[in-house]
Amino acid sequence: MGGDRKFQDPPGRLPLAFMKAIELELFRHLLTSIAEEMGVVLRKTSYSANIKERRDYSCAVYDSRGETVAMGDHMPVHLGAMPLSVSAVRQAFDLQPGDVALVNDPFRGGTHLPDITAVAPVYTRGGKKPAYYVANRAHHADVGGMSPGSMPLAREIYQEGLRIPPILIRRGGKMDRDLLALVLANVRTPLEREGDLMAQLMALHRGEVRLLELTAKYGEPSVRRNMRELQDYSERMMRATLRRLPRGSYRFEDYLESDRPEGGLLAIRVAVTIAGDSATVDFTGSSAQVDGPVNANLAVTTAAAMYVFRCLVAEEIPFTAGILRPVRIIAPEGSIVNARPPAAMAAGNVETSQRITDVILGALAKAAPDRIPAASCGTMNNLSFGGLRPDGRPFAYYETIAGGMGASIQGAGHNARHTHMTNSWNTPVEAFEHEYPMRIESYRVRKNSGGAGSHRGGDGIVRELRFLVPAEVTILSDRRTRGAYGLAGGKSGKPGRNMLITAARQREIPAKTRFEITAGECLRIETPGGGGWGGPKLTRP
């Protein structure tokens, strides 16, 4: 498995190309296992239900240039965007052994403020520059701002919480306690935040240890060579996939619901152009950025595009930087898919990312109708709230709620599933009720909410929460007026609905809203179903 050979392989020995393929596959699993193990450490040492139960985090390994070589099976919206945070940190600092940087600024590679990214260099023995980097991103249940949970109906980013440019939380292995105190002084649940931040640092340490063990076993030249070859292999596989698609330009548009009281729709438009072994994804014509929280930045848009094009590849390939090399993204600055400061960003990461995914898939369905499913629920149904416990201690909580998956030529969509840009779990009822002054009154599948078709869309969820103490609640949801689209003659899924249930009455509340709830009142979230696939008489070939 050494260098190139100019002679024929001796009889009875495996061909050199085959041996190299085995070596590459070995390193793919070794590097991915490091990212996965980092995630296990982060989850098991974290404090918040959002991380230890919902698993709202991601971990990845990068080469000496800060380019992705391995990702855990975590959150697509995190993983595709994190390289921009790693790049921002590398531009800000010449990281030394024992340094750890934090960043959550959406205009420096972050997604939205609750997602805090931690980045660390990995130095090998005698190295003068980092040989590798490790990073993780975790959604913190509160980072300050105008509403508990830090997912407010803000008009500018300053209202959303603590904005962290690239900073060093640890220098040469020593924690900056003054900086940590500054961060904790600006959040509602400082003990929980400190615990989650320390968990992120422990996960980075585990990644560093494993990379150094890998290097000690195989040698740094071998590790670095295989990292490059994994990226090149991903690129070749992506180019081969694109070559199998018909050339042409394919357009699609869909809409987000505004958070304004008067309503209105915000357009996301895309033209996907396939030209041989490359593609261009052009969002020209999308709505301008708004003074609400649904703006996305380029990192989020890039993450959505990376996810969709990775899904096009039927084979199992490494999730590396090579995937996007054949793909060019055009996102006009100042638009809803590439907003400028000081735009609010809370929902861009969760709602706009889903709609970006929907429109790219909708465009590609015209190029590969048998490969693309109907739209899934298209919203993460974000719910955040906070208040004081009976003993006076503050609490803050954030969750995403699953919906219906879109159907496809393969069959019906799954019910009650987190789809596309989210890969989180739910918080078990027992854990939720133990941790918070709440009761889950109902948690069930929303029957017949999926779109009709020869293959029916998946059904959404009904989740009812009864508050035992007063609290402030924020909902950032979508697909409340327009259901998830069907394909090949399939019908749209049923739109979602939010209901506030009091002793006097039930009333429907907007898709994006903030309100005070009193003890004893109940909130019902009905999530959208997925789109159906195929007309009534259309059957699978």
Q: Is 66 left (phi over 0), alpha (psi -120 to 50) or beta?
A: left
Instruction: Give the list of residues 6+ apart from residue 21 with CB closer than 8 angstroms, or none.
Output: none
Q: Contact 422/75 with Cβ under 8 angstroms?
A: yes
Q: Looking at 150-302, which runs of residues are DSSP E strands?
A: 167-171, 174-175, 248-257, 265-275, 278-282
Output helix, strand, coil percentages for the chain, rounded to the nearest 5.
Answer: 30, 25, 45
What does each of the 541 residues of the chain score in pLDDT, given as a tens digit? 444 444 455 555 667 777 888 999 999 999 999 999 999 999 999 999 999 999 999 999 999 999 999 998 888 888 889 999 999 999 999 999 999 999 999 999 899 999 999 999 999 999 999 999 999 999 999 999 999 999 999 999 999 999 999 999 999 999 999 999 999 999 999 999 999 999 999 999 999 999 999 999 999 999 999 999 999 999 999 999 999 999 999 999 999 999 887 778 999 999 999 999 999 999 999 999 999 999 999 999 999 999 999 999 988 889 999 999 999 999 999 999 999 999 999 999 999 999 999 999 999 999 999 999 999 999 999 999 999 999 999 999 999 999 999 999 999 999 999 999 998 999 999 999 999 999 999 999 999 999 999 999 999 999 999 999 999 999 999 999 999 999 999 999 999 999 999 988 999 999 999 999 999 999 999 999 999 999 875 544 3
* DSSP H/E element including 343: none
Give domain limits for the chain: 16-232, 373-541
CA distances from 145 to 15, 291, 314, 344, 436 (A): 61, 16, 43, 12, 21
User: Smallest Cα–Cα separation from 372: which of 403, 409, 405, 404?
Assistant: 409
User: Smallest Cα–Cα separation from 153: which of 50, 21, 295, 12?
Assistant: 295
User: Smallest Cα–Cα separation from 291: which of 256, 255, 342, 247?
Assistant: 342
What is the distance between the alpha carbons of residues 209 and 202, in angstroms, rounded to a whole number?
11
The pTM of the full predicted model, rounded to 2 decimals, is: 0.94
